Amino acid sequence: MIVFSSKFSDFKKNSAYFSTMKKALLIADSGGSKTDWCLIDQLGNRHYFQTASYHPHLMSDQWISQQAKNWLDYTRIYDLEVHFFGAGCLKDQNRKLVEKAFTTWNIERVNISSDLIGAAYSLLGDEDGVIGILGTGSVAAKIEGQSVKEVYGGFGYLLGDEGSGYAFGKKLLHNYIKDCFSIELSHSLKEILGEREEIMAEVYGPQGKQFIAGIAKSTHELSVFNEIVQIHEQNIVEFVEQYLQKIPELKDVSFVGSYAFHHQNILRKVLKMKGLQLHKVIERPIEELAEYFIRRTF
């Protein structure tokens, strides 16, 4: 089990532990809401920590300048080699934006790739195959020769994200506010989500997307209700039918993401029903990414 430092600054306080090491690998897996990091010293020691997202759309000149102070201690101690895997980094212009940010922080050796490549390394190693990400959002990709051959889905929460935690939350709320659930389930949901007015305020408030995407986690204990299981199944069926079944000769698929990981029994059932096999599923890529680069480096 990975134990993340609660803040970026917590790791800085402990940086003296690594101060004798001049070279270090820094691995990052960055999504839309957070970034998981792993620093690996020359002896292969690993330290995991977590920060807010380093998504390219956040990287204004002001944001880059604000983040600079967080990297001062590291660049004084380490010759860092960064392998950054991020959402939004499939586009060349976004990769250049992230690379520019690290260069501004005096970190020159930086490799920027899509989070799809990070997911592929963590799930497949150097092998070809089909991978999916089912977390807050959703996307699938065909991986060949350690590169993204085809992308399926990934249209974002306004236009797609079928099979994601967000899509599940939206489906559940739609049924709940329209009184489509049994009395017992509605009562349980009321205790977790609140009254209709409270829910509407959350949905249309500044953190509406996060609120909806978090419903899968907050209602996980309610999976004893068949009504909830049916929504999960419907959600995953839509992802399979709209994206995976468009991939020629597909037999098995691997997934990363909290939604896939915590609902893998339902995921496996739906895939089997559609003639597919779940090869592997992990919650976060970061630990497997660290192992991947340790094997290649040490």
pLDDT tens-digit series, residues 265-289: 999 999 999 999 999 999 999 999 9
For residue 283, count CB atoms less than 10 angstroms from its CB and return exposed for 0-12, middle for 13-18, buried for 19 or more: middle
Per-domain residue ranges for the chain?
8-126+285-297, 165-282
In the numeric block, which tokens belong to residue 127?
Answer: 């092998």
Residues 137-159: b if buried by 16+ CB within 10 A, e if exposed: bbbbbbbeeeebeeebbbeebee
Residue 274, classed as helix, strand or coil, is: coil
Q: Are 50 and 4 in contact (CB under 8 A)?
A: yes
Name the CATH architecture for the domain at 8-126+285-297: 2-Layer Sandwich (3.30)
In this predicted structure, the answer to whether residue 7 has a pLDDT above a threshold of 70 is no
Residue-wise pLDDT tens digits, 140-180? 999 998 899 999 998 888 888 999 999 999 999 999 999 99
pLDDT of residue 171: 96
pLDDT of residue 75: 83
Task: Name the residue among 33, 227, 273 with its Cα closest to residue 136.
Answer: 33
Residue 142, classed as helix, strand or coil, is: strand
Residue 65, classed as helix, strand or coil, is: helix
CA 278/CA 264 separation, integer angstroms: 9
Under the banding of pLDDT at 50, 70 and 90, the label for residue 1 is very low
Q: What is the pTM of this model?
A: 0.84
CA 180/CA 251 separation, integer angstroms: 36
